[in-house]
Amino acid sequence: MVALQRQRLIPHLVVADVARAVEFYKRALGAEEDTRSALENGGEPACVALRIGPAMFHVCDVFPEGGCGPEWEKHSHVSVTLHLEVEDCDHVLARAVAAGAEVIFPPRDMSWGDRYARIRDPFGHEWSFAHSGTQQQRFAA
């Protein structure tokens, strides 16, 4: 088995419109652009690396040569929820909805002590947000 040199996981979200998705993630989640790569013809970005705090994820174009084309779109479905620990779950959810997200699970105080919510972005990816409750709230249950 090969040892990993870096201990980091970077999700890649495949979308049909990278530029639109990048703008959504910037507006909805406060993402900041790290790097971008364009197709050889110098057109629209093919992949953009974004950061939310220390976390990084890539937004990539449908790329048939790389196995992400019409067949991928036909068979893809959401099987992962990307989770962000945030300062204020309700605020982040409202910001995402204002940018075009759909609420899947409205903000709720959960039994484990977090305030938690989940959305589906305009590209079909699900995101959850949570912030920790106070120590008093955590142990009151």
Separation between Cα atoms, residue 97 and residue 106, nearest integer Å? 11
Q: What does pLDDT average to over the chain? A: 79
130, 47, 5, 2 alpha-carbon torsion, rounded to 10° = 110
Percent of the chain with pLDDT over 90: 42
- Confidence (pLDDT) at 90: 96
CB 102 within 8 A of CB 94: no
- Encode pLDDT of 73-109 as tens digits: 554 555 577 889 899 999 999 999 999 999 999 999 9
- 17 pLDDT exceeds 70? yes
**Does 121 have pLDDT greater than 50?**
yes
Asked if pLDDT for residue 113 goes beyond 70, the answer is yes
Look at residue 44 in the predicted model and tell me its pLDDT: 67
How many other CB atoms are found less than 10 A from the CB of residue 117? 24
Q: How far, in Å, CA of 89 to CA of 86, rounded?
A: 6
* Statement: residue 59 has pLDDT above 70: yes
Q: Please report the domains of the chain, with CATH numbers, ordered by start residue.
A: 9-76 (3.30.720.120), 78-141 (3.10.180.10)
